[in-house]
Chains A and B, each alone.
Chain A
C-alpha cells in the first residue's frame, strides 16, 4: 500500500500574534517562534507510518510551501515516513482550490518504481487557514471517495473502516481504496523522532518540484487581530480561602 500524507508548514503560535507591516501575514521575523505542523497532520503522518508497518508499502509526505518546508518533512522522515516532496512556492499563500490541484498532481504522479498511491491522508483542516476542504477537493479531482474528521482507522482487504466522533457516539464509514481520508487530532499519539530515526532521515529523499500558482478565487486581502475585550480577571482570593466567593459566583450566574 502506497500512502501519501499532505502537510503544511505553519508558524508555531505563541501567546501573542504580530502582523507584518501591510497586515497580510504573520510576522515570523520579529516574533520568531519557529515553524511546525498542525496536530491533525502530525496524526495523519503517524497513521501512515503505522499502516505501512502493519501492511507493508511506502509512505510519502507532500507539502506545498516554501523550500524550508523540507524541515517539517525531515521531521516526519525521522519518525518513519519514507520520502518527501516539496511543491515549492515563493511564499505566497495559495487558496484551497489551487492547493488541492497542486497536491492532486503529485498524487497522480505516484511513487517512483512503486506505482500508484492507494490512500491519501490529510488533516481535516490546516492549523492556520482552517479551510476544511482541500482533501475533499482532491478526492473529487481523483474520482475517489473521501471520509473526513476521522478519529479511528483500520484497513483490511482494501477497505478502510473509519470512525468519526459525533457528540458522545461514533459514526462508522467504510470505503474501498483508493480513497482520501482526513483525520483529526486524537486518532493516535504521534511518536517522537529517535536519534537513529534522525540519522536515517538524513539519507531519505526529498524531491522538489515547482508549483504554478493560478489566480486565487478565495483571495486574502488582509489579516487583523480580533478585538478582544481587555479583561483582567477579578481575583476572588488565594487557595481554598476563595471557595465561599466561588460559590457566590455560582449562585450569581445561576448554576446552583
Chain B
C-alpha cells in the first residue's frame, strides 16, 4: 500500500497531487491519501475519482491553515499505523517540504523531484530523479524500509481510475512545537490575473525585450489569448518584471498548451522551467539560439516588429 500526501490549499487540491496519485497507482492498487486540515474534506471526491481507496483526513483544532511540521507528524502516525511501502507526494513546495520533515522525523532518506520508482521488498528502492531541473537524470538507490519520494511535476499525466473512496477522520497527536510554524496571514493576490502555473498560454520575454516598456505588446497578447506573461531570469534581475513571473529552474516550472518565447535565448536554467509546454514558439533574431532546439515553431526577427503586428492580427482574428 502507498500513502500519498495531498497538497491542497484551503480545500483546493493542487492538480499535481492528482499526478502523484496516478504515480502511486502504478506502484500499488491500494493508494491511501493523507489530507491535512478539516477544510481538505472537499478533496475526497476528486481523490477517489483518481483512485484513492481511503482518504485519511487529519483534523485538529490547531490545523486551521497549512502547518508543515504538523502535516509530517500526521504522516508519521499513518506510517506507524499502516506500514506503507512508500509515502509519496507531488513535488510542489509543500509536498517537498512535508516529505523532508517526514524524512527528518523518521531519520530516513527522501528522494525529491522523482521521475520513476521501482520498489524493492529488501528496502533498496531504485529511483530516477531530476538534477539540474531535469537537464540530467540521476539513478539512485534509496536505502530505507519505507520509500519517501516526491514526484517531479508533469512527468505523469493524472488519469481517472474511480474507486469507492472511504473517508476516515483522525486527530493526530500534536505538540505545540509541531504547530509553531504555520501560515498566520495571507497578503497580496486578488489581482485577478491568471497565475503562471495555471495559465494555458504564456507569453514570455527575455533579454531581447530590452526594457520594462518593451513588455507592452507581450502583455497585450497575453490578455488577448487569456494567458499570463512570463519572463527569464535576466529580466527579473534587471527589474523589468516581478520575480513572480520568472519561468525557470529557480522560478516557476510551467506546462502550458502554448509558450511563446520572445527574445529568450534558451539557457538550460530557463528551459528547465518551460520544457513541459505542449507547443513552444520562439521569436528571436538569432536563428542559432539554443531555444531553436526546443521550439516547435520559430519566427526569425525582431520581436519589436513582430509582436505589435501579431497583437493586431490576433485581435482581428478573434473578431
Q: Which A residues lie within 8 Å of B201 (CB)?
A: 255
The one of A136, A141, A226 in contact with B101, judged by C-beta atoms closer than 8 angstroms, is A136
- Does the CB pair B110–A246 fall under 8 Å? no
Q: Report the bound CA distance from A168 to B229 in whole Å.
A: 13
Q: Which of A218-237 contact B (CB under 8 A)?
A: 218-226, 231-237
A30 within 8 A of partner (CB) = no
For the complex formed, measure the closest distance between the CB of A148 and the CB atoms of chain B, giving whole angstroms: 5
With a CB–CB cut-off of 8 A, which chain B residues contact A224? 136-137, 139
- Interface residue stretch chosen among B32-40, B75-83, B163-171, B186-194: B186-194
Query: Cβ of B205 < 8 Å from any Cβ of A?
Result: no
Query: Is the Cβ of B317 less than 8 Å from the Cβ of A171?
Result: no
Contacts A39-B250, A171-B183, A240-B306: A189 and B97 contacting too (C-beta < 8 A)? no
Tell whether A226 pairs with B109 under 8 Å between CB atoms, given A171-B66, A186-B246, A253-B258.
no
Contact yes or no, A14 B309, CB < 8 A: no
- Cβ of B250 and Cβ of A171 under 8 Å apart? no
Does A250 belong to the interface (CB within 8 Å)?
yes
CB proximity to A under 8 Å, residues B87-139: 93, 96-97, 99-101, 103-105, 107-113, 126, 130-139
Are A244's CB and B313's CB within 8 A? yes
Cα-based distance from A232 to B237 in the complex (angstroms)? 30
The one of B97, B197, B269, B309 that contacts A13, using a Cβ cutoff of 8 Å: B269
Contact present for A218 and B109 (CB under 8 Å): yes
Tell me whether A185 and B299 are in contact (CB under 8 A).
Answer: no
Give complex CA distance A131, B226 in Å.
35
Is A256 a contact of B112 with CB atoms below 8 Å?
Answer: no
- A97-146: which have CB < 8 Å to B? 97, 124-125, 127-133, 136-137, 139-141, 145-146
Could you say which interface size class chain A belongs to? 35 or more
A13 to B200, CA, bound (A): 29
State in angstroms the CA–CA spacing of A230 and B133 once bound together.
19
Q: Report how many A-B pairs have Cβ atoms within 8 Å.
A: 263
Asked whether any CB of chain B lies closer than 8 Å to the CB of A32, the reply is no
- In this complex, what residue of A is CB-closest to B115? A226
Contacts of B266 in A (CB 8 A): 15
What is the CB-to-nearest-CB distance from A39 to chain B, in angstroms, rounded to a whole number?
A: 5
B139–A256 touching, CB < 8 Å: no
Interface residues of B in 224-253 (CB under 8 A from A): 224-227, 233, 236-237, 239, 243-244, 246, 249-251
- Residues of chain A within 8 A (CB-CB) of B306 are 239-240, 242-243, 246
- Indicate whether A203 reaches chain B with its CB closer than 8 angstroms: no
- Closest chain A residue to B110, Cβ basis: A133
Q: A239-B305, A249-B281 are in contact. Are A127 and B139 (CB under 8 A)?
A: no
Among A38, A168, A218, point to the contact of B193 (Cβ < 8 A): A168
Chain A nearest CB: distance from B274 CB in Å?
A: 13
Among B18-26, B43-51, B207-215, B286-294, the one that faces the other chain is B286-294
Q: Closest CB-CB distance, A77 to chain B, in whole Å?
A: 22
CB nearest neighbor in B for A141: B104
Residues of A within 8 A of B305 (CB): 239-240
A151 at interface, CB cutoff 8 A: yes
Contact present for B140 and A218 (CB under 8 Å): yes
* B301 x A97 contact (CB < 8 A): no
B279 close to chain A: CB less than 8 A: yes
If A169-B186, A242-B306 touch, does A97 touch B250 (CB 8 Å cutoff)?
A: no
Which residues, 54 to 101 on A, are CB-close (under 8 Å) to B? Answer: 95-97
Q: Which residue of A lies closest to B300 (CB)?
A: A238
Interface residues of B in 303-319 (CB under 8 A from A): 305-306, 309-310, 313-314, 317-318
Q: Is A207 an interface residue (CB 8 A)?
A: no
User: Which residues of chain A are within 8 angstroms of B107 by Cβ–Cβ distance?
Assistant: 97
CA distance A225 to B311 in the complex (A): 38
A143 to B115, CA, bound (A): 32
Contact B313 A247, beta carbon cutoff 8 Å: yes
Are B142 and A168 within 8 A (Cβ)?
A: no
A172 near B295 (CB under 8 angstroms)? no
Q: Which residues of B contact A169 (CB under 8 A)?
A: 186-190
Contact call B66/A186, Cβ cutoff below 8 A: no
Residues of the B chain whose Cβ atoms lie less than 8 Å from the Cβ of A173: 181-184
Given A140-B101, A221-B138, A255-B258, 13 other A-B residues pairs in contact with their CB atoms under 8 A: A97-B107, A127-B132, A133-B110, A140-B104, A149-B97, A151-B243, A171-B185, A218-B142, A221-B126, A233-B292, A239-B305, A246-B306, A254-B257
Give 16 A-B contacts (CB < 8 Å), ordered by A residue. A130-B130, A132-B113, A133-B99, A145-B177, A148-B68, A173-B182, A217-B142, A217-B143, A223-B139, A237-B300, A238-B300, A239-B305, A240-B305, A253-B279, A255-B226, A255-B258
The 7 closest A-B pairs by CB, nearest first: A169-B189, A186-B243, A239-B301, A133-B100, A233-B298, A140-B104, A132-B96
Residues of B within 8 A of A (CB): 9, 66, 68, 93, 96-97, 99-101, 103-105, 107-113, 126, 130-144, 150, 177, 180-191, 193, 195, 197-198, 200-201, 224-227, 233, 236-237, 239, 243-244, 246, 249-251, 257-258, 266-269, 278-279, 281-282, 287, 290-302, 305-306, 309-310, 313-314, 317-318
- Give the B-binding residues of A (Cβ under 8 A): 13-15, 17, 26, 38-40, 95-97, 124-125, 127-133, 136-137, 139-141, 145-149, 151, 163-175, 184-186, 189, 216-226, 231-240, 242-247, 249-251, 253-256
